[in-house]
């Protein structure tokens, strides 16, 4: 495949970069606040799910890749929202706790009462300890907006949601393998972009080198996108 070497370089270096920032941050350690822990967990989630997607693609199993990449996009929206708005991390966490409590009430208010109490009490505790008064509901759209990634929400996230929610249209798109290349393209954007955001919040050994590498890889990814290679069904990722 044309540009196979360039593609594999972006894949290897992109995942290598994310691994580096995670490892370096863990080695440095120290006292982490909720924002730091929030960013780290979402970066780790992106790394873990990303490797699963690569395994599926290399195995020729494309059907669930869009579903997983959609979840990775949600982590990216939240991670970058926390980078751009320091108060967002704790607000998102509290919003999630309170939303889960409301869902449990709908499931079974009696049997779920202990869980509801636990979630609501923890959310109230966090609000009091950190003086969080915002009642904002941090939906996926709200996180994407705060992250300044609305185009990704209206584009790839919307496309991948069809398969995730088993809509007929989403299934039809996947039958034609439309979006397989888009899933790979989005996967690489998420991994690289998350790495660059990560080092703006969490200390690593060489943060500027990581930022520079993230920018370089994003430019390489853009070049591959402009070359049209992601319009193909799916490349052989082992081809060199």
Q: What number is the average pLDDT over the span 69-90?
A: 97
Dist. CA 60–CA 213, nearest whole Å:
30
More confident residue, 119 or 230: 119
128's CB contacts (< 8 A; 6+ apart) are: none
Band of pLDDT at residue 172, cut at 50, 70 and 90: confident
Q: What is the pLDDT of residue 235?
A: 46
Percent of residues, the chain, with pLDDT higher than 90: 79
Residue 86 clears pLDDT 90, i.e. is over it: yes
Q: What is the pLDDT of residue 180?
A: 77
Backbone angles phi, psi at 81, to 5 degrees: -60, -40
Dist. CA 233–CA 55, nearest whole Å:
16
The structural domains of the chain, with segments of one domain joined by +, span 4-87+134-231
Dist. CA 213–CA 218, nearest whole Å:
9
Cα 177 from chain centroid (whole Å): 22
Q: What is the pTM of this model?
A: 0.92
Residue 168 clears pLDDT 70, i.e. is over it: yes
């Amino acid at each position: 495949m044309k540009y196979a070497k360039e593609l594999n370089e972006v894949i290897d270096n992109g995942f290598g970069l994310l691994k580096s920032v995670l490892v370096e941050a863990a080695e440095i350690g120290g006292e982490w606040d909720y924002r730091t822990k929030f960013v780290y967990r979402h970066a780790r989630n992106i790394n873990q799910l990303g490797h699963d997607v690569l395994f599926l693609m290399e195995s020729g199993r494309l059907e669930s890749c869009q579903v997983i990449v959609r979840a990775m996009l949600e982590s990216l929206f939240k991670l970058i929202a926390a980078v751009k708005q320091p108060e967002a991390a704790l607000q998102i966490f509290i919003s999630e706790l309170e939303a889960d409590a409301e869902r449990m009430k709908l499931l079974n208010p009696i049997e779920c009462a202990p869980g509801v109490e636990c979630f609501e009490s923890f959310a109230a505790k966090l609000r009091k300890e950190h003086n969080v008064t915002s009642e904002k509901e941090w939906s996926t759209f709200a996180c994407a907006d705060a992250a300044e990634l609305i185009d990704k929400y209206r584009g790839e996230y919307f496309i991948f949601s069809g398969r995730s929610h088993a809509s007929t249209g989403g299934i039809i798109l996947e039958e034609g393998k439309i979006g397989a290349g888009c899933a790979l393209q989005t996967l690489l954007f998420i991994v690289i972009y998350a790495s660059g955001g990560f080092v703006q919040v969490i200390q690593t050994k060489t943060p500027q080198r990581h930022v520079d590498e993230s920018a370089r890889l994003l430019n390489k990814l853009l070049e591959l996108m402009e070359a049209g290679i992601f319009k193909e069904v799916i490349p052989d990722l082992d081809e060199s």
